[in-house]
Amino acid sequence: MADTTAPPMAVRIEFNEPQIDVSSLKGRSVLVTGGAASIGLACAAKIAEAGALVTISDLQEAAGRAAAEELRSRGLQVQFVQCDVTSYAAQVDMFQKAIRFSSGRIDIVMPNAGVMSEHNLFDMATVRAASLDGPPPPEPGFLRCNVNLQAVYNTCYLAMHYFHLPRSSAGNYKPSIVLLASLAGYVGYPSSSTYGMSKFGVRGLFYSIRDRALHESPAVRVNLVAPWFIETAMTTIPEFLSSEAGMLMSVMGYAPMEWVVSAVLQFCGNERLHGRAAGVFPTSNEDLGGDLEGSYSGKVL
């Protein structure tokens, strides 16, 4: 039976270190979902540059294959696996292909696949006039929750399973999950009820597994990165820019992509870090203090 005594949290993250040591990533087996573009691709590229064997998965086959081909042309060890993360069977296939690509094990999993929506519950509920005689409002969809939360849960579930494959070739490296959430999971996101709900859910998943994971065999490090808005295809479309969130972003600005990558690299490469959440803001990266000492991020936010 696993020891469920809560371990001490890792020390707070220092983001002023002059250089991130990524030497421990050489030869590691890494899986990045939603890796064909944006944050996922930027992180996958840097991890591969550190010498890791990287599997990027995405629903978008053409973009994913092109991204993997470009990285391989630079001498990096990268493969692409098409995957609809809302399908459990597809995720199983994705994990197995990633493991076979890298000598029979998986070391780092980054559940990054996600989608946005620009509708609040009230916008959808009032699309039709209220009437006992007329039709009810259309049934709300939960695609965003299926991708942003349920699929992330399944990715973590399968990661914990496959981390138990023989690890003799992994040395003493603790396998790692780096969750990609959002500051919408801390401060809310009025533009989309399902997006905000799903990101709060990822934060809840993080809190629920981080302590237990360190007492498993092998011990697993679980950390989280919560970015502010990054300049991506999803955050530059007119529908987003005209939304409440888009107008707020126009005042505060985007957070730099390279700061997201930096936070991910720290969590992957620094084996002392576990149970920590990094907020990526327009002006700096901050440890969100997601513990009792930090008032569960209340002191930062």
Q: What is the DSSP string of 6-54?
A: PPPPPPPP-TT-SS---GGGTT-EEEEET-SSHHHHHHHHHHHHTT-EE
Cβ(70)–Cβ(63) below 8 Å: no
pLDDT for position 107: 97
User: Of 3.40.50.720, 3.30.750.200, 3.40.640.10, 3.40.50.880, which CATH number belongs to 23-291?
Assistant: 3.40.50.720
> What is this structure's pTM?
0.90
Of 231 and 166, which is predicted with more confidence?
166
Least confident of 53-67, 167-181, 191-205: 167-181
Q: Which of 3, 12, 7, 5 shows the shortest CA–CA distance to 273?
A: 12
The domains of the chain are located at 23-291
Cβ(193)–Cβ(121) below 8 Å: yes
pLDDT for position 9: 59
The torsion of the CA quartet 143, 147, 148, 149, rounded to 10 degrees, works out to: 90
Q: Is the peptide bond before 238 cis (omega within 30 degrees of 0)?
A: no
pLDDT for position 151: 98
Cβ(44)–Cβ(35) below 8 Å: yes
- pLDDT digit string (tens) for 37-63? 999 999 999 999 999 999 999 999 999
- Residues ≥6 apart with Cβ < 8 Å to 257: 38, 39, 42, 230, 231
Neighbours of 45 (CB within 10 A): 20
- pLDDT digit string (tens) for 230-288? 877 767 777 766 666 667 667 678 899 999 999 999 999 999 999 999 999 998 899 99
What is the three-class DSSP state of 58? strand
pLDDT for position 245: 66
Least confident of 47-56, 72-81, 202-211, 252-261: 252-261
Q: Residues with catalytic annotation?
A: 195, 199
pLDDT for position 76: 99
Q: What average pLDDT does the segment 138-158 reach?
A: 93
139, with CB counted inside 10 A (0-12, 13-18, 19+), is: exposed
Residue in the block written with tokens 């700061």: 259
pLDDT for position 138: 87
